[in-house]
Amino acid sequence: MSRAVLSIGSNIGDSLAHLQGVVDGLRDWVVAVSPVYATAPWGGVDQQDFLNAIVVVDDPDTDARGWLRRGQDLEAAADRVREQRWGPRTLDVDVVTCDDIRSDDPELTLPHPRAHERAFVLVPWLAVEPDATLVVDGVPVRVDAALAQLDAGERDGVRRTAQRLELR
């Protein structure tokens, strides 16, 4: 079994359609899809708000690198361009966790090294897995506890929308 938590985001073009493309592209392996949230951009680059969601996937024939490749393929299909770190993008697909795998590989660091600092990851994740845990510095931490450690402004900046992603 290979269960992964993917964080997806978009703030260029039809962002909802880009996120829906991830759900459609992974439909055979989707276990859960969070509500869609609007969030302020992270990283200090001036740009419009993002739409973000979490997709939980499971495929016994796919390892962590396989999820990374699938995410990159979906980004390419959405014409993702990597011009500026933390800049605007049509689609961003990050592997947050995959099973209990720990990796320091620069191409795929697992668990995602900054997921515990990002309310736009934690809030949607809690919506689909209220008891989720994330390893932070080698220690398992409940996702709700990690979220509680963030600045209130960061938490409040993740706003649930009426938009939905459909498993079709």
Cis bond leading into 41, ω under 30°? no
Q: pLDDT per residue over 15-67, tens digit each? A: 999 999 999 999 999 999 999 999 988 666 677 999 999 999 999 999 999 99
Contacts of 151 (CB under 8 A, 6+ apart): none
How far is it, in rounded angstroms, from Cα 115 to Cα 51? 16
Closest CA to 99 of 143, 136, 137, 134: 134
The region, left, alpha or beta by phi > 0 then psi within -120 to 50, assigned to residue 90 is alpha
pTM of the model: 0.93
CATH topology of domain 3-160: Alpha-Beta Plaits (3.30.70)
Q: pLDDT per residue over 67-78, tens digit each? A: 999 999 999 999
